[in-house]
């Protein structure tokens, strides 16, 4: 079969411990190591003890298996690990659903990196993305009323009992204000902040003992997570980002405005943005493609997996999806076909159909049966131009990062909607990071060096401007770190290793001494953008994607510097 239209969530076969466990699986499986003693009786210690008893044996099992199979063939290693994944993935999902909070967030992060996770763990992470645990509606009402100091009926005409969605720290309901305005009400779970602090401390203890180079990342993530627990700050973020982005990108994206007089620490009320989750819309599109080939979506995925394996065995990269131009041609074809069908349907309904309907006795109960309703007339749904959407997302987030210095550090697929008018709804800004102009310029110099493939310069910028320090200041390993952070993370950089194994190899060669916290969320943004591209079969280099705006920022700075220099010389000459 032709693979020009690939499945929306491809699966990557893996061959060694690092690749099979991946980022989320290994983190979920190991964060328990920071736990102290089961004998404690407070809730935090009980959570840690629960994790210790259930998750740490999973981690040990993987490490033990890694040692046992190191001399076996790759095929036999895969077989052993596949059995482990099937055994332990459901257990890890059970732990995440029981403890919720931080562990749900880790699973959601893992769902964006289909290239790092084995199939059973990926399915777990995708379920955590789409099907988070929810709180009963009565409890949500109590939180709203206690936080606003009013009865729900004094603020809202109606609140849907069924949530639109649930996340790691709260859930969202559609509602109507008293004047009929449709809104979304975001409600924070009780004790969410306290549980997050406990759980992320456990993760930091693990990293401190086992993988200290990941500790700066977790510390910065902790700082950003803590900003999510005051919804008044998110309301400010929504207004700030909308003011920055919409004047430039308003034709492509929608950002909801908050109703600040109804926003408290635990409750956020904002405009309702109609639409479908981008991931769901793309999945539906590929389901239609599979049906057109007399296949199920799963069969299409399996067929694409087979093609990927064949290509990998020949040393070839996996196939990418159709180009933006191919999608545009497909869209034009659909428009023309629908227009032609519309003419045919209208001509029939107003001629033969009209006559037959008029002649049909009403007593038969078949009035209008000869007319063709639009629903069965052969009209096709407009396809989604996936590479074009990814391009918009890259440019919008690049604008936030380099132009504004205020960007979303958590743009996962669950926070992106496809609206009925074709725009992208960017709906969650709980984790907005602010960086200074100097820091933006430092990142811009790094991105430009990477995009121009000047890796010695990238290593120099990483140390001298960004401030990352290693023990030996080895140029090669510094360049690889820079590429992993803000360029690519495929096998052209890692040599086929997964992220964890890759960083471990760098640590052995040139240990990390200092990673400045202020750049960690920019790295996370880069990581999430690349993960989204990989999941949709469009490998992304964030350096190449952000190159134009980074280059422009540097050029603007150079012009400003020259202008100031001329002004100073002119002033000095006047005085003389």
Summarize pLDDT for 503-534 with one digit per residue, the tens: 888 989 999 888 888 898 899 899 889 988 98
Domain shared by 152 and 91, yes or no: no
Q: Are residues 142 and 223 in the same domain?
A: yes
Average pLDDT over residues 494-508: 81
Cα torsion 338, 343, 344, 350: sign: positive
Q: Are residues 433 and 513 in the same domain?
A: yes
**Domain termination site, one of 218, 250, 275:** 275
Assessment of whether the complete model's pTM goes beyond 0.95 = no
- Two tokens, residue 200: 């992320």
Sheet order of strands, 276-277 included: 253-254, 424-426, 416-418, 276-277
Long-range pairs of 301-309 with CB within 8 A, sequence gap ≥ 24: 301/7, 301/9, 301/10, 301/11, 303/1, 303/3, 304/3, 304/6, 304/7, 304/10, 305/10, 305/11, 305/13, 307/3, 308/10, 308/12, 308/13, 309/13
Residue 60 covered by a domain? yes
Burial class of residue 347, CB neighbours in 10 A (0-12, 13-18, 19+): exposed
In 3D, which of 451, 464, 408, 457 has the Cα closest to residue 552? 451
Q: What is the pLDDT of residue 312?
A: 79
Q: Are residues 252 and 125 in the same domain?
A: no
DSSP codes, 397-414 = HHIIIIIISEEES---GG
Q: Given a cut of 50, is residue 364 above it in pLDDT? A: no
DSSP 417: E
Work out the angle between the directed axes of helices 74-99 and 43-68 (0-180°, nearest 10): 180
d(CA 117, CA 12): 7
Higher pLDDT, 235 or 115: 235
Name the pLDDT band for 173 (thresholds 50, 70, 90).
very high
pLDDT for residue 565: 64
Same domain, yes or no: 111 and 236: no
- Cβ(479)–Cβ(456) below 8 Å: yes
Instruction: Report yes or no on 402 lying in a domain.
Output: yes
Query: Can you give the pLDDT at residue 350?
Result: 64
| Per-residue model confidence (pLDDT) at position 353 | 61
Q: Output the pLDDT for position 293.
A: 86
Most confident of 218-222, 311-315, 358-362, 556-560: 556-560
Q: Is residue 396 part of a domain?
A: yes
Between strands 416-418 and 424-426, the pairing is: antiparallel
Portion of the chain with pLDDT greater than 90, in percent: 39
Q: How confident is the model at residue 210 (pLDDT cuts 50, 70, 90)?
A: low
CA distances 530 to 13, 305, 484, 542, Å, are: 19, 20, 11, 7
| 147 plus 270 within the same structural domain | yes
pLDDT tops 80 at residue 236: yes
Rounded to the nearest 10 degrees, how much is the dihedral formed by the CA atoms of 282, 406, 128, 102? 170
Q: Tell me: pLDDT of 376 over 50.
A: no
Report, as an integer, the average pLDDT of 327-333. 79
Residue 68 lies in a domain: yes
> What percent of the chain lies above the pLDDT cut of 70?
81
81 within domain boundaries: yes
Q: How many CB atoms lie within 10 A of CB 315?
A: 6
With respect to residue 318, please indicate whether it lies within any of the assigned structural domains.
Answer: no
State the pairing for strand pair 182-188/156-159: unpaired
Residue 365 pLDDT > 50, yes or no?
Answer: no
pLDDT at 126 over 80: no
Based on the fold, state whether residues 402 and 547 are members of the same structural domain.
Answer: yes
Within this chain, do residues 408 and 553 fall inside the same structural domain, yes or no?
yes
Among 203-212, 261-270, 276-285, 417-426, where is mean pLDDT lowest?
Answer: 203-212
**E strands of 449-547, at which residues?**
469-470, 512-514
Residue 110 structural domain: 30-130
Number of other CB atoms surrounding residue 86 within 10 Å:
12
- Reported as a pLDDT band with limits 50, 70 and 90, residue 367 is very low
**Residue 473 in contact with residue 463, Cβ under 8 Å?**
yes
- 158 to 155, 182, 268, 269, 421: CA distances (angstroms): 9, 9, 16, 13, 26
Q: What's residue 112's pLDDT?
A: 64
Looking at residue 193, its pLDDT comes to 85
Domain annotation covers residue 79: yes
Q: Scanning the structure block, which residue is given the tokens 């032609």?
A: 340
Residue 177 has pLDDT above 90, yes or no: yes
Q: 174 or 201: which carries more pLDDT confidence?
A: 174
**30 versus 572: which is more confidently predicted?**
572
- Mean pLDDT score across all residues of the chain: 81
Handedness of CA 88, 89, 95, 98 (dihedral sign): negative
Q: Judge whether residue 237 has pLDDT over 90.
A: yes
Rounded distance between C-alpha atoms, residue 462 and residue 447, angstroms: 10
- Rounded to a whole number of angstroms, the CA Rg of the chain reads 27
Q: Is residue 298 part of a domain?
A: no
Does 345 score more than 70 pLDDT? no
Do 185 and 49 reside in the same domain of the chain?
no
Could you tell me if 34 and 150 lie in one domain? no
Residues near 576 by beta carbon (within 8 Å), at least 6 away in sequence: none
How high is the pLDDT of residue 235? Answer: 96
Question: Which of 78-92, 111-125, 148-162 comes out lowest in average pLDDT?
Answer: 111-125
Q: What pLDDT is recorded for position 560?
A: 85
Mean pLDDT of 46-54: 80
pLDDT at 380 over 70: no
In which band, very low, low, confident or very high, does the pLDDT at 448 lie, cut at 50, 70 and 90? very high
Average pLDDT over residues 329-333: 78
State residue 550's pLDDT score. Answer: 97
Is residue 371 over pLDDT 50?
Answer: no
What confidence tens digit (pLDDT) does each residue in 291-308 have?
Answer: 888 999 889 888 988 888
Q: What is the mean pLDDT of residues 52-81?
A: 85
Chain centre to alpha carbon of residue 114? 11
Name the helix (H) or strand (E) containing 439. Answer: helix 437-451
Q: Are residues 499 and 450 in the same domain?
A: yes
Q: How far apart are CA 413 and CA 8, in angstroms?
A: 12
Overall domain count for the chain: 3
Count of Cβ atoms closer than 10 Å to residue 484 Cβ: 19
Out of 75, 97, 130, a domain closes at 130
541 and 449 in one domain?
yes
Q: What angle do CA 68, 73, 75 make, to 5 degrees?
A: 105
């Amino acid at each position: 079969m032709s693979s020009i239209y690939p499945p929306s969530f491809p699966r990557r076969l893996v061959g060694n411990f690092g690749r099979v466990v991946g980022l989320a699986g290994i983190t979920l499986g190991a964060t328990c190591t920071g736990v102290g003693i089961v004998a404690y009786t407070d809730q935090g210690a009980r959570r840690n003890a629960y994790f210790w008893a259930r998750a740490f044996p999973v981690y040990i099992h993987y490490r033990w298996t890694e040692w046992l199979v190191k001399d076996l063939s790759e095929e036999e290693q895969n077989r052993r690990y596949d059995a482990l994944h099937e055994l332990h993935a459901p257990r890890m999902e059970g732990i995440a659903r029981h403890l919720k909070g931080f562990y749900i967030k880790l699973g959601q992060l893992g769902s964006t990196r289909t290239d790092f996770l084995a199939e059973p763990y990926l399915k777990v992470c995708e379920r955590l993305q789409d099907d988070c645990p929810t709180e009963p509606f009565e409890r949500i009402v109590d939180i709203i009323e206690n936080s606003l100091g009013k009865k729900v009926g004094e603020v809202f005409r109606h609140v849907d009992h069924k949530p639109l969605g649930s996340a790691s720290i709260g859930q969202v309901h559609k509602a109507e204000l008293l004047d009929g305005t449709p809104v979304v009400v975001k409600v924070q779970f009780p004790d969410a902040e306290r549980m997050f602090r406990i759980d992320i401390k456990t993760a930091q203890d693990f990293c401190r003992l086992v993988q200290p180079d990941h500790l700066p990342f977790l510390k910065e993530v902790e700082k950003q997570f803590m900003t999510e627990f005051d919804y008044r700050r998110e309301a400010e973020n929504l207004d700030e980002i909308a003011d920055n982005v919409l004047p430039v990108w308003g034709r492509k994206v929608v950002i909801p405005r908050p109703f600040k007089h109804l926003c408290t620490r635990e409750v956020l009320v904002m405009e309702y943005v109609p639409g479908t989750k981008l991931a769901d819309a793309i999945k539906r599109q590929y389901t239609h493609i599979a049906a057109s080939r007399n296949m199920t979506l799963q069969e299409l995925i399996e067929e694409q997996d087979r093609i990927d394996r064949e290509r990998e065995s020949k040393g070839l990269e996996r196939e990418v999806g159709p180009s933006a131009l191919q999608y545009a041609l497909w869209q034009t074809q659909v428009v023309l076909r629908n227009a032609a069908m519309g003419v045919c349907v209208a001509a029939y309904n107003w001629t033969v159909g009209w006559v037959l309907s008029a002649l049909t006795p009403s007593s038969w109960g078949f009035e209008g049966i000869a007319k063709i309703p639009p629903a069965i007339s052969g009209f096709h749904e407009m396809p989604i131009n996936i590479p074009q959407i990814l391009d918009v997302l890259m440019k919008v987030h690049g604008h936030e990062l380099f132009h504004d210095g205020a960007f979303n550090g958590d743009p996962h697929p669950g926070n992106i909607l496809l609206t009925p008018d074709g725009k992208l709804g960017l709906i969650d800004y709980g984790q907005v990071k602010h960086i200074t102009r100097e820091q933006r310029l430092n990142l811009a110099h790094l991105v430009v060096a990477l995009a121009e493939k000047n890796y010695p310069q990238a290593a120099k910028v990483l140390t001298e401007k960004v401030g990352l320090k290693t023990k030996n200041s080895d140029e090669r390993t510094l360049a690889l770190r820079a590429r992993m952070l803000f360029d690519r993370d495929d096998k052209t950089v890692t040599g086929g290793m997964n992220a964890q194994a890759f960083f471990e190899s760098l640590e052995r060669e040139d240990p990390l001494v200092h990673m400045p916290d202020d750049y960690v969320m920019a790295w996370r943004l880069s990581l999430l953008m690349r993960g989204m591209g990989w999941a949709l079969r469009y490998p992304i280099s964030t350096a190449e994607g952000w190159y134009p705006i980074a280059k422009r920022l540097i050029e603007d700075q150079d012009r400003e510097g020259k202008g100031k220099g001329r002004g100073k010389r002119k002033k000095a000459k006047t005085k003389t």
